[in-house]
Structure 1
């Protein structure tokens, strides 16, 4: 049976204007973006008075990122394997949805190789420049083109999935051993590879964009600020889930999945609130109400709200991963990013090339 309105509104808390800013239908966090609306801040390249800021000296070229060459080699292999299936002897038997999935995966790995080939992979700009996958600054080997021709389609797809999971495991280790935006870079690529493997295993028919949306630069904040921002957004997403559950029946799979998602977000929120208490930091409190970006009139619109919220939460998980200064926090942030990306995908969100980055 569907939850009653009393149950839906059970978790409202007193308002603290130091928390989320509610202006009309635009509900944003202190960073200017929110899980309920997707509002974005104004362009940071323009001063408040409308004038362009003074040009700054060109930064010096940073040293090569440790592990970038090895990671690019793995990404290039995955790019080639996806391409080999698309153009190989089984191309005529590929269902349209599976072909679309492979195109998306191949494009994602191309974007990753281009980023790793740049002087600073955490700078989003290089992923949008026109160039080839193999660059002079980072040569990578290409598998023999006949390698997959001897395999069945099912075996080729299974092997690609296994390679994706192996790459995800390697990149996870790199993420947990790094700091700042480098931790986010490795973590994002790890979560992407894992989601590609899951999609391949499921033979997903979810439509995916054929090209990646560009990343936006992300400024790292303090670890406390990142955790506080996560709590603010979790207040909103818990409220949003409660609204969505008002239109979903607990007897069907969607309702059960939504209830599990609500419980997971509540548990994470409580854990982060306790972290802030332990570190003598202010714990953000929830607003009394939040405005969803779409009317909730059916199970379909409720599922759409959950999909949007989970997708919008991933950049906040990424910010936390990039800002974490303690190993335990970094591991927790990575797990939150991976879980959120998986949950978003389960609600029919498209594959993300850079999960955890704001786009």
Structure 2
């Protein structure tokens, strides 16, 4: 793996650290909201699991290549405070938009297993972002980004 690929994968790991934190924050904010937040909680749980798995897989790839993956920060500034169901869903969509963008930036710099992982990450992030927006009652015409991965 060349230096450009390591840099791109490291950037994606950093994005995933923040996404894990953000998805956990959304889930925590949704937990006490009861039945009205059930669907959003399910999306937050799925996002947390997906981001954690991607972060761990990317970390393993970097370690296998002899690179040092970036460490997680103790806390992150969230782009949206998950103070309500709608805000938590907006946060989840934003986190997945960032994953898609970072995946898009990395996909052309890697090959093999890493490329397969990142292509899948881009597709899954785009789908999760769309689900979050649709659950937040964003109109279908604006819930889908024409070019996922491009902010």
Shared fold by TM > 0.5? yes
Report deviation, 1:293. Answer: 2.3
2:41 matched to 1:255?
Answer: yes
- For 1:308, the equivalent position in structure 2 comes to 94
* Runs of 4+ in structure 1 over 4 Å off: none
- For 2:26, the equivalent position in structure 1 comes to 244
- Larger fraction in helix: 2
- For 1:149, the equivalent position in structure 2 comes to none
Report deviation, 1:350. Answer: 2.5
Structure 1, residues 214-254: CA drift from partner, whole Å, max 9, x if none? xxxxxxx7111111011000010111111111121386122
CA distance in 2, matches of 1:351, 1:255: 21
- For 1:330, the equivalent position in structure 2 comes to 115
Structure 2 stretches lacking a partner, 5+ long: 134-141
CA distance in 2, matches of 1:274, 1:323: 17
2:74 matched to 1:288?
Answer: yes
CA distance in 2, matches of 1:310, 1:283: 20
Give the direction of change, closer, same or farther, for the CA distance of 1:295–1:264 in structure 2 (3 Å limit): closer
Structure 1, residues 176-234: CA drift from partner, whole Å, max 9, x if none? xxxxxxxxxxxxxxxxxxxxxxxxxxxxxxxxxxxxxxxxxxxxx71111110110000
Report deviation, 1:279. Answer: 0.8
8 Å CA contact 2:79–2:94 kept in 1: the answer is no
CA distance in 1, matches of 2:10, 2:64: 13
Report deviation, 1:323. Answer: 1.1
Higher relative CO (CA 8 A, sep ≥ 6), structure 1 or 2? 2
* 3-state secondary structure, aligned to 1:281: coil
CA RMSD of aligned residues (A): 1.7
* 3-state secondary structure, aligned to 1:297: coil
CA distance in 1, matches of 2:89, 2:149: 21
Report deviation, 1:342. Answer: 0.5
- For 1:269, the equivalent position in structure 2 comes to 55
